[in-house]
Amino acid sequence: MKVEGEKRYAVLLAARDSEYVKKVYGGYFNVFVDALGDEGDKWDLFRVIEGDFPEMDELCNYEGFVISGSPHDAYGHEYWVLQLCFLLQTLFAMQKKVLGICFGCQVLCRALGGKVAKSYSGWDIGVRKVRLSEDFYSYGLLSDDDGQDEIIPPALSIIECHQDEVWEVPVGAQILASSDKTGVEMFTFGDYILGIQGHPEYTKDILHNLIDRLLSDNSIERGFGEEAKLQLMEAEPDRKYWERICKGFLKAGWSQLQ
């Protein structure tokens, strides 16, 4: 599946499309392209959860890669997860840009030598405020859509839905954001790796539907789920800032990110 254009990017999809996302958005691939794509881009889709991976001799043709969230454990031993870890190690060696979202953040951490496990405090679902570190601001200013420099606020809200988390980042990596719930909300490793625990691509309706599905299969307690839906109604994620961070990383490089 391809969207024609000039610069080439790939989504490594580690989850199957929900019926809701297929009906409303045409699939998670479209959700990512809507959030991160620009006119002139070319985006390819690889359903890594189904064993669909890019060919090794094609990797050099891509500007960057985005790894999606997943209901699977980043520390698991399914063959496709291990194959994904090998791919990420290869991309790191090639100095290719890789952006990991939720599971993607965790599997990047695992592949590059960090530690991932279940959160001691359980599920985090809803819109959460995360604090940006001083290291984040060492990258300067991020231009807005009109080309004007705008300082990123020191705390940003983001949609979260996870029960696993990064316990230790790889040696040499920097933690760029944390929250009261999760110690590693964002990390970077050199100029080519960025992991974000939350979901900058999610809209509130996607999370609302996901909460309903988690309730229906008894993955979360009803009281917790209903409380999360209520909080979701009252809070707004800072999507424009997260999209600028992600797009700046993928397309401008950290030296030009902010």
In degrees and rounded to multiples of 5, residue 105 shows phi and psi of: -60, -45
Farthest CA pair distance, the chain: 50
Q: Report the alpha-carbon angle 102-105-106, nearest 5.
A: 90
Tell me how far apart the alpha carbons of residues 160 and 203 are, in angstroms, rounded to a whole number. Answer: 11
Q: How many CB atoms lie within 10 A of CB 6?
A: 10
List Cβ neighbours of 53 (8 Å cut-off, separation of 6 or more).
12, 46, 83, 84, 87
Q: What share of the chain is helix, strand, coil (3-state, %, to 5)?
A: 35, 25, 35
The active-site residue, picked from 160, 161, 199, 246, is 199
Torsional class of 103: left (φ above 0), alpha (ψ -120 to 50), beta (otherwise): alpha
The candidate with the shortest Cα–Cα distance to 37, out of 10, 70, 71, is: 10
List Cβ neighbours of 223 (8 Å cut-off, separation of 6 or more).
none
Catalytic status, residue 105: no
Catalytic status, residue 85: no
Catalytic status, residue 102: yes
Strand-pairing partners, residue 33, are: none
CB pairs under 8 A, 24+ apart, for 22-27? Answer: 24/205, 25/206
The candidate with the shortest Cα–Cα distance to 200, out of 155, 146, 157, is: 157
The active-site residue, picked from 102, 105, 161, 246, is 102
The active-site residue, picked from 160, 165, 185, 201, is 201
Active site residues: 102, 199, 201
